[in-house]
């Protein structure tokens, strides 16, 4: 869904990608721009989780942005050009998996409509859409994973449900089921885990005052849990909340859920300086 609508917490009916009849084995990772540029460890964690689940994972080197910034700004021509590149790059894989609900939703929900005037491209976009998944949903709903192996995280965590993953793809219980198998981890829910953090992609740029007020409320809700760690499945949301928590001096570490599930919770948290 366009990020401005997600930020407004409009009640959309989620439509997750269908579960394929044959278990996917050859999986392509859609890395996402933010993961590539700001937090590559999320990509490595995703590969680790997928390989442990029995998948052969490839990262197409020619992949580009999913096109959300252009799409949310109304630039359909640029979005179409970007989408065509992505469709080319990810042809032939059993599944395409993104460690992000917003990017996953872009591929699975919005690409086909970009090519309503081009039947051939629309068919290719629909084919990609039917093979595209958010990481937590893919692990639980498609691969049937019920727990993660050899993961430990000593701490109290709280979980934020990012708008696109929750409202568009139905990602809610899946990460919590997997977190339940992590040794040493205790989950303490916020009062409003489903309320937007105020990021919303271009929303925080267009409406910074509103965005800041929203993330301020989210920060207070996080702190009220007493958790020492905040988890979520979208890096944009995590960076937004990490920034606010740090500016307010709150001692809460911020991580992507894949990092904890993959046993990579000892890395510096989002916003913390690199070690050595």
The domain spans of the chain are 3-142, 152-261
User: Does residue 16 surpass a pLDDT of 80?
Assistant: no
The answer to whether the beta carbons of residues 258 and 97 sit under 8 Å apart is no
Q: What is the mean pLDDT of the chain?
A: 92
- Go through the chain and tell me how many residues it has: 276
Average pLDDT over residues 41-57: 97
From CA 242, how far away is CA 235, in angstroms rounded?
A: 10
For residue 3, what pLDDT is reported?
39
Average pLDDT over residues 40-51: 98
pLDDT band at residue 51 using 50, 70 and 90 as cut-offs: very high
φ/ψ (deg, to 5) at 154: -85, 100
Residue, of 95 and 19, whose pLDDT is higher:
95
User: Does residue 261 surpass a pLDDT of 70?
Assistant: yes
For residue 204, what pLDDT is reported?
81
User: Does residue 13 surpass a pLDDT of 50?
Assistant: no
- The topology under which CATH files domain 152-261 is Rossmann fold (3.40.50)
Average pLDDT over residues 24-37: 95
From CA 89, how far away is CA 110, in angstroms rounded?
A: 17
Q: Evaluate whether the domain defined by 3-142 bears CATH number 1.10.287.
A: no
List residues bridging with 230 in a β-sheet.
158, 254
User: Does residue 65 surpass a pLDDT of 60?
Assistant: yes
Question: pTM of this prediction?
Answer: 0.90
Q: How many degrees, rounded to 5, is the angle at CA 158 between CA 276 and CA 268?
A: 5
From CA 194, how far away is CA 163, in angstroms rounded?
A: 7
Model confidence pLDDT, tens digit, residues 94-149: 999 999 999 999 999 999 999 999 999 999 999 999 999 999 999 999 999 999 98
């Amino acid at each position: 869904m366009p990020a401005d609508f997600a930020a407004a917490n409009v009640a959309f009916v989620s439509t997750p990608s269908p579960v394929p009849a044959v278990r996917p084995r050859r999986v392509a990772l859609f890395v996402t721009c933010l993961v590539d540029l700001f937090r590559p460890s999320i990509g490595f964690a995703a590969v680790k989780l997928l390989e442990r689940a029995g998948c052969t994972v490839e990262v197409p080197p020619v992949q580009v942005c999913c096109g959300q910034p252009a799409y949310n700004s109304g630039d359909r021509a640029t979005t179409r050009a970007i989408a065509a590149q992505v469709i080319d790059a990810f042809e032939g894989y059993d599944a395409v998996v993104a460690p992000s609900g917003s990017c996953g939703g872009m591929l699975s929900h919005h690409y086909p409509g970009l090519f309503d005037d081009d039947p051939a491209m629309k068919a290719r976009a629909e084919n990609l859409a039917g093979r595209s998944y958010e990481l937590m949903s893919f692990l639980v709903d498609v691969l049937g994973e019920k727990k993660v192996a050899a993961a430990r995280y000593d701490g109290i965590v709280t979980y934020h449900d990012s708008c696109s993953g929750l409202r568009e793809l139905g990602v809610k219980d899946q990460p919590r089921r997997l977190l339940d198998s992590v040794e040493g981890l205790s989950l303490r829910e916020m009062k409003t885990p489903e309320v937007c953090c105020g990021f919303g992609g271009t929303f925080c740029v267009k409406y910074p005052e509103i965005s800041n007020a929203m993330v301020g409320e989210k920060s207070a809700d996080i702190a009220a849990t007493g958790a020492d760690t905040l988890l979520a499945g979208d890096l944009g949301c995590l960076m937004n909340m990490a920034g606010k928590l740090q500016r307010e001096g709150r001692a809460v570490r911020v991580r992507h859920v894949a990092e904890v599930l993959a046993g990579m919770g000892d890395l510096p948290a989002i916003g913390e300086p690199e070690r050595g």
